[in-house]
């Protein structure tokens, strides 16, 4: 299954907007950094019509090393979750 790389995304947005690829790359970097920092500080980021980025806390748990079968402790961690807006869901299922 093909995927859109960061470089391809930058190129496509630059073509669509008529801006330079460098400007789009800087904008994308600023956008992603701001989302990460805002969520890291405990706030959600909502882009109307697109979705919401939230911080998800994963608790510590027991796991197994698949190679050896040995029991291991998996530390608690945080991750970024995304919930799509209804408009996005509708578009994907159209």
Q: What are the φ/ψ torsions at residue 67 (nearest 5 degrees)?
A: -75, -40
Distance CA 52, CA 85 (A): 7
Global pTM value = 0.81
- How many helices and strands, by DSSP H and E, does the chain display? 3, 5
CATH superfamily of 44-94: IHF-like DNA-binding proteins (4.10.520.10)
DSSP 8-state secondary structure symbol assigned to residue 76 = P
Distance CA 72, CA 90 (A): 42
Residue limits of CATH 4.10.520.10 in the chain: 44-94
- The least confident of 1-5, 20-24, 39-43 is 1-5
Runs of H (alpha helix) within the chain: 6-17, 21-40, 86-92
pLDDT tens digit string along 63-78? 999 999 999 999 999 9
């Amino acid at each position: 299954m093909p995927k859109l790389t960061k470089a391809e995304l930058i190129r496509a947005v630059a073509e669509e907007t008529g801006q330079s690829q460098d400007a789009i790359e800087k904008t994308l970097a600023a956008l992603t950094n701001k989302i990460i920092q805002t969520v890291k500080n405990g706030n959600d980021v909502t882009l109307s019509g697109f979705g919401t980025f939230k911080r998800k806390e994963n608790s510590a748990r027991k796991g197994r090393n698949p190679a050896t079968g040995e029991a291991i402790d998996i530390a608690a961690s945080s991750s970024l979750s995304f919930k799509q807006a209804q408009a996005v869901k509708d578009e994907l299922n159209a």
